[in-house]
Structure 1
Amino acid sequence: MLTVLSLLQARRDWPARVLAERLDISERTVRRDVDRLRGLGYRIRAVKGPDGGYRLDAGSELPPLLFDDDQAVALAVALQNAAVAGSAFGEPALRALAAVRQILPNRLRHRIDGLRFTAVPTGVPTDAVDADVLLAVSAAVRSGEVLRFDYRSPETAGDASPASRDLPPGRRAEPHHLVARNGRWYLVAYDLDRGDWRTFRVDRLSPKTPTGPRFAPREVPGGDVARFVSARFRGGSSDAAGGWPCTGTVILRAAAAELRPHLADEALDELDDGRCRVTLGSWSWVALAGRIAQFDADFEVVGPPELAQASAALAGRFSAVGERRPQDDAVH
Protein backbone atom coordinates (compact mmCIF):
# COMPACT_ATOMS: atom_id res chain seq x y z
CA MET A 1 0.00 0.00 0.00
CA LEU A 2 2.87 2.37 0.78
CA THR A 3 4.47 1.58 -2.56
CA VAL A 4 1.18 2.24 -4.37
CA LEU A 5 0.99 5.65 -2.65
CA SER A 6 4.60 6.42 -3.55
CA LEU A 7 3.99 5.61 -7.22
CA LEU A 8 0.80 7.66 -7.34
CA GLN A 9 2.76 10.64 -6.01
CA ALA A 10 5.48 10.23 -8.65
CA ARG A 11 3.34 10.79 -11.78
CA ARG A 12 -0.08 12.08 -12.73
CA ASP A 13 -1.90 8.97 -14.00
CA TRP A 14 -1.26 5.30 -13.38
CA PRO A 15 -3.19 2.68 -15.37
CA ALA A 16 -4.29 -0.14 -13.06
CA ARG A 17 -2.62 -2.70 -15.33
CA VAL A 18 0.73 -0.86 -15.20
CA LEU A 19 0.54 -0.56 -11.41
CA ALA A 20 -0.18 -4.27 -11.08
CA GLU A 21 2.74 -5.19 -13.37
CA ARG A 22 5.09 -2.77 -11.58
CA LEU A 23 4.29 -4.28 -8.17
CA ASP A 24 3.89 -7.85 -9.40
CA ILE A 25 0.40 -8.09 -7.91
CA SER A 26 -3.11 -8.49 -9.31
CA GLU A 27 -5.32 -5.58 -10.35
CA ARG A 28 -7.73 -6.71 -7.63
CA THR A 29 -5.00 -6.15 -5.01
CA VAL A 30 -4.35 -2.71 -6.51
CA ARG A 31 -8.04 -1.82 -6.11
CA ARG A 32 -7.98 -3.04 -2.50
CA ASP A 33 -4.90 -0.94 -1.64
CA VAL A 34 -6.44 2.11 -3.30
CA ASP A 35 -9.60 1.66 -1.24
CA ARG A 36 -7.51 1.50 1.96
CA LEU A 37 -5.70 4.71 1.03
CA ARG A 38 -9.02 6.41 0.34
CA GLY A 39 -10.16 5.36 3.78
CA LEU A 40 -7.13 7.14 5.25
CA GLY A 41 -8.09 10.38 3.54
CA TYR A 42 -6.16 10.27 0.28
CA ARG A 43 -8.22 11.54 -2.65
CA ILE A 44 -7.56 8.97 -5.35
CA ARG A 45 -9.74 9.37 -8.40
CA ALA A 46 -10.50 6.61 -10.88
CA VAL A 47 -9.58 7.60 -14.43
CA LYS A 48 -11.95 6.31 -17.09
CA GLY A 49 -10.94 5.14 -20.54
CA PRO A 50 -9.72 2.06 -22.39
CA ASP A 51 -6.70 1.91 -20.12
CA GLY A 52 -8.33 3.24 -16.98
CA GLY A 53 -6.40 3.74 -13.80
CA TYR A 54 -5.91 6.07 -10.86
CA ARG A 55 -4.88 9.66 -10.12
CA LEU A 56 -3.91 11.19 -6.77
CA ASP A 57 -5.62 14.57 -6.28
CA ALA A 58 -4.80 17.20 -3.67
CA GLY A 59 -7.17 17.11 -0.72
CA SER A 60 -8.60 19.87 1.46
CA GLU A 61 -7.15 18.24 4.60
CA LEU A 62 -3.77 16.70 5.28
CA PRO A 63 -4.15 12.91 5.43
CA PRO A 64 -1.81 10.76 7.49
CA LEU A 65 1.77 10.83 6.21
CA LEU A 66 2.86 7.31 5.39
CA PHE A 67 6.49 6.39 4.83
CA ASP A 68 8.32 3.15 4.39
CA ASP A 69 11.45 2.61 6.48
CA ASP A 70 13.95 4.06 3.99
CA GLN A 71 11.74 7.09 3.30
CA ALA A 72 11.46 7.87 7.02
CA VAL A 73 15.24 7.76 7.48
CA ALA A 74 15.78 9.88 4.35
CA LEU A 75 13.27 12.44 5.64
CA ALA A 76 15.06 12.70 8.97
CA VAL A 77 18.42 13.23 7.25
CA ALA A 78 16.96 15.87 4.91
CA LEU A 79 15.33 17.80 7.75
CA GLN A 80 18.53 17.86 9.77
CA ASN A 81 20.47 19.13 6.76
CA ALA A 82 17.79 21.76 6.12
CA ALA A 83 18.65 23.34 9.46
CA VAL A 84 21.96 24.58 8.00
CA ALA A 85 20.72 25.44 4.51
CA GLY A 86 20.91 29.20 5.05
CA SER A 87 17.22 30.05 5.06
CA ALA A 88 14.46 30.87 7.52
CA PHE A 89 13.31 27.23 7.28
CA GLY A 90 16.07 26.01 9.59
CA GLU A 91 14.16 26.25 12.87
CA PRO A 92 10.88 24.87 11.41
CA ALA A 93 12.90 21.97 9.96
CA LEU A 94 14.17 21.03 13.42
CA ARG A 95 10.63 21.24 14.82
CA ALA A 96 9.37 19.07 11.95
CA LEU A 97 12.11 16.54 12.68
CA ALA A 98 11.02 16.37 16.31
CA ALA A 99 7.38 15.94 15.27
CA VAL A 100 8.20 13.18 12.78
CA ARG A 101 10.32 11.36 15.34
CA GLN A 102 7.47 11.52 17.83
CA ILE A 103 5.05 9.57 15.62
CA LEU A 104 7.48 6.95 14.31
CA PRO A 105 7.30 3.37 15.58
CA ASN A 106 10.08 2.33 17.93
CA ARG A 107 12.04 0.37 15.32
CA LEU A 108 12.27 3.42 13.04
CA ARG A 109 12.94 5.80 15.91
CA HIS A 110 15.89 3.65 16.94
CA ARG A 111 17.23 3.67 13.38
CA ILE A 112 17.07 7.47 13.23
CA ASP A 113 18.56 7.90 16.70
CA GLY A 114 21.37 5.56 15.70
CA LEU A 115 22.17 7.68 12.65
CA ARG A 116 24.32 10.25 14.39
CA PHE A 117 25.92 12.94 12.28
CA THR A 118 26.57 16.65 12.49
CA ALA A 119 25.37 18.85 9.65
CA VAL A 120 27.98 21.57 9.28
CA PRO A 121 27.39 24.46 6.85
CA THR A 122 30.10 24.76 4.22
CA GLY A 123 29.79 28.54 4.23
CA VAL A 124 29.11 31.19 6.86
CA PRO A 125 25.96 33.06 5.79
CA THR A 126 25.83 36.65 6.96
CA ASP A 127 22.05 36.78 6.67
CA ALA A 128 19.49 34.01 6.53
CA VAL A 129 17.10 34.18 3.60
CA ASP A 130 13.59 35.25 4.55
CA ALA A 131 11.14 32.44 3.82
CA ASP A 132 8.68 34.75 2.03
CA VAL A 133 11.46 36.07 -0.23
CA LEU A 134 12.63 32.56 -1.05
CA LEU A 135 9.08 31.48 -1.92
CA ALA A 136 8.43 34.61 -4.00
CA VAL A 137 11.62 34.13 -6.04
CA SER A 138 10.90 30.44 -6.49
CA ALA A 139 7.35 31.22 -7.64
CA ALA A 140 8.70 33.62 -10.28
CA VAL A 141 11.11 30.93 -11.49
CA ARG A 142 8.35 28.34 -11.68
CA SER A 143 5.85 30.60 -13.45
CA GLY A 144 8.43 32.08 -15.82
CA GLU A 145 7.61 35.71 -15.00
CA VAL A 146 10.00 38.67 -15.01
CA LEU A 147 11.11 39.44 -11.47
CA ARG A 148 11.26 43.10 -10.35
CA PHE A 149 13.34 43.65 -7.24
CA ASP A 150 15.60 45.96 -5.29
CA TYR A 151 19.11 44.69 -4.68
CA ARG A 152 21.38 45.70 -1.81
CA SER A 153 25.02 45.88 -2.85
CA PRO A 154 27.48 44.32 -0.38
CA GLU A 155 29.08 46.68 2.10
CA THR A 156 32.47 45.23 1.19
CA ALA A 157 33.47 43.76 -2.13
CA GLY A 158 35.21 40.80 -0.54
CA ASP A 159 32.12 38.92 0.62
CA ALA A 160 30.12 38.94 -2.61
CA SER A 161 30.08 36.82 -5.72
CA PRO A 162 31.96 38.47 -8.59
CA ALA A 163 28.80 38.58 -10.67
CA SER A 164 26.69 40.57 -8.22
CA ARG A 165 28.89 43.41 -6.94
CA ASP A 166 27.81 47.03 -6.98
CA LEU A 167 24.48 46.46 -8.69
CA PRO A 168 22.07 49.38 -8.27
CA PRO A 169 18.53 48.90 -6.96
CA GLY A 170 15.51 48.54 -9.22
CA ARG A 171 16.53 45.47 -11.20
CA ARG A 172 14.51 43.58 -13.82
CA ALA A 173 15.55 40.03 -14.60
CA GLU A 174 14.26 36.77 -16.03
CA PRO A 175 14.64 34.29 -13.15
CA HIS A 176 15.74 30.86 -14.35
CA HIS A 177 17.26 28.94 -11.43
CA LEU A 178 17.32 29.12 -7.64
CA VAL A 179 20.62 27.67 -6.42
CA ALA A 180 21.78 26.65 -2.92
CA ARG A 181 25.57 26.88 -2.63
CA ASN A 182 27.81 26.80 0.44
CA GLY A 183 25.07 27.80 2.86
CA ARG A 184 23.73 30.64 0.71
CA TRP A 185 20.93 30.97 -1.84
CA TYR A 186 21.51 32.52 -5.27
CA LEU A 187 19.25 33.45 -8.16
CA VAL A 188 20.61 32.74 -11.63
CA ALA A 189 18.83 35.17 -13.94
CA TYR A 190 19.12 37.02 -17.23
CA ASP A 191 19.50 40.72 -16.37
CA LEU A 192 17.25 42.64 -18.78
CA ASP A 193 18.95 45.96 -18.06
CA ARG A 194 22.46 44.70 -18.72
CA GLY A 195 21.61 42.13 -21.36
CA ASP A 196 23.66 39.39 -19.70
CA TRP A 197 23.45 36.58 -17.17
CA ARG A 198 23.93 37.41 -13.49
CA THR A 199 23.91 35.66 -10.12
CA PHE A 200 22.17 37.49 -7.25
CA ARG A 201 22.40 36.77 -3.52
CA VAL A 202 18.81 36.09 -2.45
CA ASP A 203 19.37 37.44 1.07
CA ARG A 204 20.13 40.86 -0.52
CA LEU A 205 17.09 40.75 -2.79
CA SER A 206 13.69 42.39 -2.14
CA PRO A 207 11.04 41.28 -4.67
CA LYS A 208 8.43 43.75 -5.89
CA THR A 209 4.82 42.98 -6.71
CA PRO A 210 3.32 42.41 -9.11
CA THR A 211 5.83 40.49 -11.17
CA GLY A 212 6.44 41.36 -14.82
CA PRO A 213 5.26 39.62 -17.98
CA ARG A 214 5.99 36.02 -18.84
CA PHE A 215 9.13 35.27 -20.83
CA ALA A 216 10.44 32.52 -23.06
CA PRO A 217 13.00 30.38 -21.22
CA ARG A 218 16.66 30.83 -22.17
CA GLU A 219 19.38 28.23 -21.87
CA VAL A 220 22.06 28.97 -19.29
CA PRO A 221 25.45 29.45 -20.99
CA GLY A 222 27.07 26.05 -21.27
CA GLY A 223 23.74 24.30 -20.63
CA ASP A 224 24.58 23.33 -17.03
CA VAL A 225 23.56 25.65 -14.20
CA ALA A 226 25.91 24.03 -11.65
CA ARG A 227 28.96 24.49 -13.90
CA PHE A 228 27.83 28.01 -14.77
CA VAL A 229 27.63 29.05 -11.11
CA SER A 230 30.98 27.40 -10.33
CA ALA A 231 32.59 29.29 -13.21
CA ARG A 232 31.25 32.63 -12.00
CA PHE A 233 32.65 32.10 -8.52
CA ARG A 234 35.98 31.11 -10.00
CA GLY A 235 36.11 34.39 -11.88
CA GLY A 236 35.11 32.97 -15.27
CA SER A 237 32.97 34.75 -17.84
CA SER A 238 29.30 34.03 -18.37
CA ASP A 239 30.09 31.57 -21.17
CA ALA A 240 32.68 29.67 -19.11
CA ALA A 241 32.31 25.91 -19.04
CA GLY A 242 33.02 25.56 -15.34
CA GLY A 243 36.83 25.48 -15.35
CA TRP A 244 39.31 27.91 -13.85
CA PRO A 245 40.10 31.01 -15.92
CA CYS A 246 43.85 30.33 -15.50
CA THR A 247 45.21 26.80 -15.93
CA GLY A 248 48.86 25.74 -16.15
CA THR A 249 51.12 22.70 -16.03
CA VAL A 250 54.30 22.29 -13.99
CA ILE A 251 56.72 19.49 -13.10
CA LEU A 252 57.21 19.20 -9.36
CA ARG A 253 60.22 17.50 -7.77
CA ALA A 254 58.10 15.55 -5.31
CA ALA A 255 56.78 12.02 -4.97
CA ALA A 256 53.26 11.28 -6.10
CA ALA A 257 52.42 9.88 -2.66
CA GLU A 258 53.12 13.28 -1.13
CA LEU A 259 51.03 15.18 -3.66
CA ARG A 260 48.07 12.89 -4.24
CA PRO A 261 46.21 13.68 -0.98
CA HIS A 262 46.11 17.34 -2.05
CA LEU A 263 45.28 16.91 -5.74
CA ALA A 264 42.61 15.33 -7.86
CA ASP A 265 43.79 12.15 -9.58
CA GLU A 266 43.24 13.60 -13.05
CA ALA A 267 45.61 16.52 -12.28
CA LEU A 268 48.58 14.32 -11.36
CA ASP A 269 50.84 12.35 -13.70
CA GLU A 270 53.73 10.45 -12.05
CA LEU A 271 57.00 10.46 -13.99
CA ASP A 272 59.76 7.85 -13.88
CA ASP A 273 62.39 9.94 -12.08
CA GLY A 274 60.47 10.71 -8.90
CA ARG A 275 58.93 13.86 -10.31
CA CYS A 276 55.29 14.59 -11.14
CA ARG A 277 53.56 16.50 -13.89
CA VAL A 278 50.72 18.50 -12.34
CA THR A 279 47.97 20.57 -13.99
CA LEU A 280 46.24 23.09 -11.76
CA GLY A 281 43.90 26.04 -12.05
CA SER A 282 43.12 29.24 -10.18
CA TRP A 283 41.41 32.59 -10.60
CA SER A 284 44.63 34.43 -11.60
CA TRP A 285 48.15 33.54 -12.75
CA VAL A 286 49.78 34.90 -9.58
CA ALA A 287 47.30 32.96 -7.43
CA LEU A 288 48.14 29.83 -9.42
CA ALA A 289 51.88 30.39 -8.87
CA GLY A 290 51.23 30.81 -5.15
CA ARG A 291 49.24 27.58 -5.06
CA ILE A 292 52.12 25.69 -6.67
CA ALA A 293 54.58 27.19 -4.20
CA GLN A 294 52.57 25.73 -1.33
CA PHE A 295 53.88 22.25 -2.13
CA ASP A 296 57.35 23.27 -0.86
CA ALA A 297 59.15 21.62 -3.80
CA ASP A 298 61.26 22.80 -6.72
CA PHE A 299 59.31 23.03 -9.95
CA GLU A 300 59.64 23.99 -13.58
CA VAL A 301 56.85 25.53 -15.63
CA VAL A 302 55.72 23.55 -18.66
CA GLY A 303 53.29 26.24 -19.72
CA PRO A 304 51.77 28.59 -20.52
CA PRO A 305 54.20 31.54 -20.50
CA GLU A 306 51.83 33.57 -18.29
CA LEU A 307 52.45 31.11 -15.45
CA ALA A 308 56.23 31.48 -15.77
CA GLN A 309 55.90 35.28 -15.73
CA ALA A 310 53.63 35.18 -12.68
CA SER A 311 56.10 32.88 -10.89
CA ALA A 312 58.92 35.35 -11.55
CA ALA A 313 56.79 38.26 -10.29
CA LEU A 314 55.90 36.35 -7.15
CA ALA A 315 59.54 35.41 -6.58
CA GLY A 316 60.49 39.09 -6.80
CA ARG A 317 57.93 40.02 -4.17
CA PHE A 318 59.12 37.29 -1.80
CA SER A 319 62.72 38.29 -2.38
CA ALA A 320 61.94 41.91 -1.51
CA VAL A 321 60.31 40.82 1.74
CA GLY A 322 63.33 38.68 2.63
CA GLU A 323 65.79 41.50 1.96
CA ARG A 324 63.89 44.07 4.02
CA ARG A 325 65.91 45.11 7.08
CA PRO A 326 64.29 45.14 10.54
CA GLN A 327 64.90 48.89 10.90
CA ASP A 328 62.87 49.45 7.73
CA ASP A 329 59.85 47.88 9.41
CA ALA A 330 60.45 49.99 12.52
CA VAL A 331 60.36 53.19 10.44
CA HIS A 332 57.02 52.23 8.88
Structure 2
Amino acid sequence: MREASPLDELADAAYAHAEIAFEYESEGERGVRRVEPYRIVVHKSRSSLLTWDIERDDWRTFRIDRMSGLERATTFEPREIPDDSAAIHQLDSTPPIRTVLRFDASPSTVADRLLTQEVELESLGPERCRALVWGHSYQWLAAVVLSMGVDFGIDEPDDFRRHCETLRDRLDRALRN
Protein backbone atom coordinates (compact mmCIF):
# COMPACT_ATOMS: atom_id res chain seq x y z
CA MET A 1 0.00 0.00 0.00
CA ARG A 2 1.35 3.42 -0.94
CA GLU A 3 1.95 6.13 1.63
CA ALA A 4 -0.76 8.79 1.59
CA SER A 5 0.23 12.14 0.12
CA PRO A 6 -0.47 15.33 2.13
CA LEU A 7 -3.25 16.11 -0.35
CA ASP A 8 -4.88 12.71 0.30
CA GLU A 9 -4.44 13.09 4.08
CA LEU A 10 -6.18 16.46 3.95
CA ALA A 11 -8.96 15.12 1.70
CA ASP A 12 -9.41 12.20 4.12
CA ALA A 13 -9.65 14.61 7.09
CA ALA A 14 -12.33 16.56 5.20
CA TYR A 15 -14.21 13.31 4.44
CA ALA A 16 -14.03 12.28 8.12
CA HIS A 17 -15.04 15.80 9.29
CA ALA A 18 -11.89 15.89 11.42
CA GLU A 19 -10.70 19.28 12.61
CA ILE A 20 -7.01 19.78 11.84
CA ALA A 21 -4.17 21.96 13.04
CA PHE A 22 -1.05 22.75 11.04
CA GLU A 23 1.82 25.19 10.76
CA TYR A 24 1.40 27.63 7.91
CA GLU A 25 3.88 29.97 6.31
CA SER A 26 2.77 33.01 4.34
CA GLU A 27 4.83 36.07 3.42
CA GLY A 28 7.65 34.96 5.74
CA GLU A 29 5.35 34.61 8.74
CA ARG A 30 4.72 31.23 10.41
CA GLY A 31 1.78 30.39 12.60
CA VAL A 32 -0.44 27.53 13.71
CA ARG A 33 -3.91 27.38 12.19
CA ARG A 34 -6.91 25.36 13.38
CA VAL A 35 -9.53 24.64 10.75
CA GLU A 36 -12.44 22.50 9.63
CA PRO A 37 -11.32 21.11 6.24
CA TYR A 38 -13.90 20.83 3.44
CA ARG A 39 -12.35 20.32 0.00
CA ILE A 40 -9.18 20.31 -2.01
CA VAL A 41 -9.18 23.17 -4.49
CA VAL A 42 -6.91 23.39 -7.54
CA HIS A 43 -6.64 26.94 -8.87
CA LYS A 44 -4.07 27.91 -11.49
CA SER A 45 -2.36 24.51 -10.97
CA ARG A 46 -1.89 25.10 -7.22
CA SER A 47 -3.52 22.83 -4.65
CA SER A 48 -5.17 24.46 -1.65
CA LEU A 49 -7.48 23.40 1.14
CA LEU A 50 -10.90 25.09 1.42
CA THR A 51 -11.64 25.39 5.15
CA TRP A 52 -13.63 27.05 7.86
CA ASP A 53 -10.99 28.90 9.89
CA ILE A 54 -12.03 28.46 13.51
CA GLU A 55 -10.13 31.46 14.94
CA ARG A 56 -11.13 33.83 12.12
CA ASP A 57 -14.74 32.57 11.98
CA ASP A 58 -14.70 32.67 8.17
CA TRP A 59 -14.04 30.62 5.03
CA ARG A 60 -10.37 30.51 4.01
CA THR A 61 -8.09 28.62 1.64
CA PHE A 62 -4.56 27.51 2.48
CA ARG A 63 -1.96 26.46 -0.05
CA ILE A 64 -0.99 22.87 0.68
CA ASP A 65 2.68 23.49 -0.17
CA ARG A 66 2.85 26.01 2.70
CA MET A 67 1.48 23.58 5.34
CA SER A 68 3.48 21.37 7.67
CA GLY A 69 2.98 19.43 10.90
CA LEU A 70 -0.57 18.31 10.13
CA GLU A 71 -2.43 17.03 13.22
CA ARG A 72 -5.98 15.73 13.44
CA ALA A 73 -8.20 16.73 16.33
CA THR A 74 -11.86 16.21 17.16
CA THR A 75 -14.62 15.77 14.63
CA PHE A 76 -16.94 18.61 13.70
CA GLU A 77 -20.46 19.06 12.39
CA PRO A 78 -20.06 20.24 8.77
CA ARG A 79 -21.26 23.68 7.75
CA GLU A 80 -23.02 24.33 4.47
CA ILE A 81 -20.58 25.53 1.82
CA PRO A 82 -22.01 28.61 0.11
CA ASP A 83 -23.46 27.99 -3.36
CA ASP A 84 -20.82 30.29 -4.83
CA SER A 85 -17.95 28.34 -3.27
CA ALA A 86 -15.87 28.86 -6.41
CA ALA A 87 -15.83 32.57 -5.58
CA ILE A 88 -14.35 31.79 -2.16
CA HIS A 89 -11.08 30.60 -3.61
CA GLN A 90 -10.76 32.26 -7.00
CA LEU A 91 -9.14 35.62 -7.62
CA ASP A 92 -10.41 35.96 -11.17
CA SER A 93 -13.48 34.90 -13.12
CA THR A 94 -14.72 31.33 -13.12
CA PRO A 95 -15.01 29.53 -16.47
CA PRO A 96 -18.67 29.24 -17.45
CA ILE A 97 -19.21 25.46 -17.44
CA ARG A 98 -19.49 23.53 -14.15
CA THR A 99 -19.39 19.73 -14.24
CA VAL A 100 -19.62 17.28 -11.33
CA LEU A 101 -17.79 13.96 -11.77
CA ARG A 102 -16.99 10.95 -9.57
CA PHE A 103 -13.67 9.13 -9.96
CA ASP A 104 -12.47 5.72 -8.81
CA ALA A 105 -9.17 7.25 -7.71
CA SER A 106 -7.70 9.26 -4.85
CA PRO A 107 -7.90 13.06 -4.88
CA SER A 108 -4.13 13.30 -5.44
CA THR A 109 -4.32 10.99 -8.50
CA VAL A 110 -7.16 13.05 -9.96
CA ALA A 111 -5.36 16.34 -9.21
CA ASP A 112 -2.24 15.02 -10.97
CA ARG A 113 -4.07 13.74 -14.05
CA LEU A 114 -6.94 16.21 -14.47
CA LEU A 115 -5.41 18.91 -16.63
CA THR A 116 -7.55 21.79 -15.49
CA GLN A 117 -7.03 25.11 -13.82
CA GLU A 118 -10.20 25.01 -11.74
CA VAL A 119 -11.39 22.03 -9.70
CA GLU A 120 -12.63 21.25 -6.20
CA LEU A 121 -11.92 17.70 -4.98
CA GLU A 122 -13.84 15.95 -2.24
CA SER A 123 -12.91 12.51 -0.90
CA LEU A 124 -15.63 9.87 -1.01
CA GLY A 125 -13.58 7.28 0.86
CA PRO A 126 -10.53 5.23 -0.04
CA GLU A 127 -9.59 5.65 -3.71
CA ARG A 128 -12.79 7.54 -4.60
CA CYS A 129 -13.48 11.23 -4.99
CA ARG A 130 -15.88 13.77 -6.39
CA ALA A 131 -14.67 16.62 -8.59
CA LEU A 132 -16.42 19.92 -9.30
CA VAL A 133 -14.74 21.06 -12.52
CA TRP A 134 -15.03 24.45 -14.20
CA GLY A 135 -14.11 24.70 -17.86
CA HIS A 136 -14.84 26.31 -21.19
CA SER A 137 -15.99 23.33 -23.30
CA TYR A 138 -17.37 19.83 -22.97
CA GLN A 139 -15.13 18.73 -25.86
CA TRP A 140 -11.98 19.62 -23.92
CA LEU A 141 -13.23 18.11 -20.66
CA ALA A 142 -14.27 14.83 -22.30
CA ALA A 143 -10.85 14.47 -23.97
CA VAL A 144 -9.02 15.14 -20.71
CA VAL A 145 -11.18 12.83 -18.58
CA LEU A 146 -10.95 9.98 -21.09
CA SER A 147 -7.16 10.30 -21.25
CA MET A 148 -6.77 10.05 -17.45
CA GLY A 149 -6.99 6.24 -17.40
CA VAL A 150 -9.42 6.31 -14.45
CA ASP A 151 -13.03 5.10 -14.30
CA PHE A 152 -15.48 7.94 -13.73
CA GLY A 153 -19.17 8.78 -13.51
CA ILE A 154 -21.07 11.92 -14.46
CA ASP A 155 -23.33 13.47 -11.82
CA GLU A 156 -24.17 16.68 -13.68
CA PRO A 157 -24.99 18.40 -15.96
CA ASP A 158 -27.11 16.39 -18.35
CA ASP A 159 -25.58 18.35 -21.26
CA PHE A 160 -22.17 16.81 -20.52
CA ARG A 161 -23.74 13.35 -20.25
CA ARG A 162 -25.37 13.86 -23.69
CA HIS A 163 -22.04 15.06 -25.12
CA CYS A 164 -20.35 11.87 -23.85
CA GLU A 165 -23.16 9.74 -25.32
CA THR A 166 -22.55 11.38 -28.71
CA LEU A 167 -18.82 10.59 -28.38
CA ARG A 168 -19.63 6.99 -27.44
CA ASP A 169 -21.83 6.62 -30.53
CA ARG A 170 -19.10 8.13 -32.72
CA LEU A 171 -16.54 5.67 -31.28
CA ASP A 172 -18.95 2.76 -31.83
CA ARG A 173 -19.33 3.75 -35.50
CA ALA A 174 -15.56 4.10 -35.88
CA LEU A 175 -14.99 0.62 -34.48
CA ARG A 176 -17.57 -0.91 -36.84
CA ASN A 177 -15.93 0.62 -39.95
Range class of TM-score, shorter chain? 0.3 to 0.5
TM-score, with structure 2 as normaliser: 0.46
Structure with the bigger percentage of strand: 2
Instruction: Name which one, 1 or 2, has greater alpha-carbon Rg.
Output: 1
TM-score, with structure 1 as normaliser: 0.26
Structure with the bigger percentage of helix: 1
